[in-house]
Amino acid sequence: MVQITELVFRDGHQSVLATRLRTEDMLPIAKTVDEVGFFSVEVWGGATFDVCLRYLAEDPWERLRLFKQNMPNTPLQMLERAMNIVAYRNFPDDIVIKFIELAHKNGVDYFRIFDALNDLRNLKVPIEAAKKVGAHVQGALCYAISPVHTVEYYVEQFKELVKMGCDSLCIKDMAGIISPQRAYDIIKACKEEGIKVPIDLHSHATSGMADLAYIKACEAGVDIIDCCISPLAGGTGHPPTESIVAGLMDTPYDPGYDLQLLAKCRDYLQKVWEKYKHLHREQAMKVDPSVTVHQIPGGMLSNFVIQLEQFGAVDKYHEVLLETARVQKDFGWPPLVTPTSQIIGVQATLNVVFGRYKRVTKETKDYVKGMYGNPPAEISDEVKEMVLGPNWRDEVITCRPADLLEPMYKKTREEMASKGLPTTPEWIVSYALFPAQTEDFLRGRSKPEFTSQQLPLELGPGERRFKARLNGSEYDVVILKSKGG
């Protein structure tokens, strides 16, 4: 039997609806989802925390508690970005530890913990913190195609994660680029090398290979696969839960889930999908096999267009795609996942517009210094000098990046108290991660982009509206249908 992690309440809507599902539109089907018997249901982490505060004017902690109340029988899972937690930079150990303690207290049973660079030093503290509170820890490695990311690389890294105490392991293929044969080879090798803990394969439907990769993974002995109930599946999302369950019937891998229950979930979520039609993006729902060449996740591609519009250089889109591959190689082949995808994407755009490394962002400098961790491969001295200058040796660090950070929890509590803000532990941690957004929420200044009662929003013909972030700034983007169609 193969089990399934259901993603519809987190990565599902993050991938195809810009993470915008409101809690009140998810809760009515939560009890039915709870009856299915999934290995786990992912409900929190990733971008959901940020989006709740920034765009939905929702309390992310209350969302988690409500999910726990409505799904008492299924382990609830979150995606935790190692020392980044649910944000986009490293935080000191005290904030990471406190966040994990509070997440578990409020309802998280399983922590899927990953680092964008697969730097295991960055996973140590969150893994130990989650183990200490008695949670299930799933150690995840980001999948990439490069000379470095061999089958042997994943086997050896997974062995280390088992030694670190992980209860299960995950191949995190965030761009949907794993081939069926590579999925088979990695999982088969892990099993043959004596890895006993369950192995999960997470993939996206972007390239059109994920369903095939899941079948081959089952043949290799995978224990868990990640799926999403069908109205929010496909495209840059994930393989559909119902289809995978039906396809595995009468095989040794049959999860044994009730298709009638899943159909009930689908019927409700189809109405939700139609309700959020203002966020539908045709491109996000199409298969794009080119991703196997450039490895760029769908959300990153849309950001390229926005960035190039800012510079008046939309005609250079294909140059940026080629430059992204060059920058990824220059930077030691990091997987393209938050935050490395943003760092590399912005730098590739600047390289095309202004010349290679003529302008570099602070994030690029920090990355090359080692402030995000060790990349999978060495960065050449030549690239270090182009980015950091002739004295680059004085700036590069070799320690774990968080070792350079001062504790924040006590200082954050004092700052909040001085402003007259509530100093409950959850809000202290929230303020440490997203100070402006948390203060706006606590002072009642947050305004939702839309309420559930306003949906569906009526836009003009061919119009799509969404928010985008570029170099730390936020833009309202409206895409209008051109006169030429």
Domain CATH code at residue 76? 3.20.20.70
Structure tokens at 124: 């140590």
CA distance 96 to 82: 8
Regarding whether 147 and 190 lie in a shared domain, the answer is: yes
Residue 470 falls inside a structural domain: no
pLDDT for position 470: 42
Q: Does the pLDDT of residue 155 top 50, yes or no?
A: yes
Please state the rounded mean pLDDT for residues 384-395. Answer: 96
Do both 262 and 330 map to the same domain? no
Percentage of the chain lying above the pLDDT 90 cut: 83
Do 119 and 249 fall into the same domain? yes
H/E segment holding residue 227: strand 224-227
C-alpha to C-alpha distance for 32 and 266, rounded to whole angstroms: 11
Residue 251 lies in a domain: yes
Q: Quick one: 237 and 301 in the same domain?
A: no
**Tens digits of per-residue pLDDT, 255-268?**
999 999 999 999 99
pLDDT band at residue 245 under the 50/70/90 scheme: very high
Q: Is the dihedral of CA 149, 152, 157, 162 positive or negative?
A: positive
Whether residue 416 lies inside any domain: the answer is no
pLDDT for the residue 1: 96
Considering its fold, how many domains does the chain have in total?
2
Say if 175 falls within a structural domain.
yes
Query: Minimal CA–CA distance to 434: which of 88, 25, 57?
Result: 88
Domain-located, residue 410: no
pLDDT band for position 298 (cuts 50, 70, 90): low
- Sign of the dihedral defined by the CA atoms of residues 40, 43, 44, 45, in that order: positive
SS3 338: coil
Query: Who wins on pLDDT, 83 or 314?
Result: 83
Clarify whether residues 273 and 307 are in a common domain: no
Q: Which domain, by its residues, includes 335?
A: 296-403
Domain containing 375 — which CATH number?
Answer: 1.10.472
Residue 431: is its pLDDT beyond 80?
yes
For the residues 176-180, what does the mean pLDDT come to? Answer: 96
pLDDT on residue 78: 98
**Within 10 A of 152 (CB to CB), how many other CB atoms are there?**
11
Q: Positive or negative CA dihedral for 186, 190, 192, 193?
A: positive
Residue 482 predicted with pLDDT over 50: no
**Same-domain status, 163 and 187:** yes
- Residue 338 pLDDT level (bands cut at 50, 70, 90): confident
User: Do 277 and 300 fall within a single domain?
Assistant: no
Last residue of one domain, picked from the residues 352, 375, 403:
403
220 with 113, same domain: the answer is yes
Cα 43 from Cα 74, distance rounded (Å)? 11
Same domain for 345 and 196, yes or no, is no
On whether the CB atoms of residues 354 and 364 are closer than 8 A, the answer is no
Which residue, of 354, 388, 403, is where some domain finishes? Answer: 403
102 shares its domain with 200: yes
Asked if residue 468 belongs to a domain, the reply is: no
Integer Cα distance of 117 and 70 in angstroms: 35
Name the domain boundary from 254, 282, 310: 282
Q: Examine the domain organization and report whether 176 and 75 are in the same domain.
A: yes
Q: Choose between 300 and 104: higher pLDDT.
A: 104
Mean pLDDT of 179-189: 98
Maximum CA extent, the chain: 65
If asked whether residues 207 and 100 sit together in one domain, one would say yes
pLDDT at 27: 98
Point out the least confidently predicted range of 111-115, 426-430, 468-472, 478-482.
478-482
CA atoms within a 13 Å half-sphere pointing along the CA-CB vector of 17: 23
**Is residue 44 within a helix (H) or strand (E), and if so which, with residue range?**
strand 40-45
Q: 122: which 2 tokens?
A: 């960055």
Is residue 223 domain-resident? yes
Looking at residue 478, its pLDDT comes to 47
pLDDT at 293 (0 to 100): 78
Q: Is residue 483 part of a domain?
A: no
| Residue 257 vs residues 223, 242, 245: alpha-carbon distances, Å | 15, 9, 7
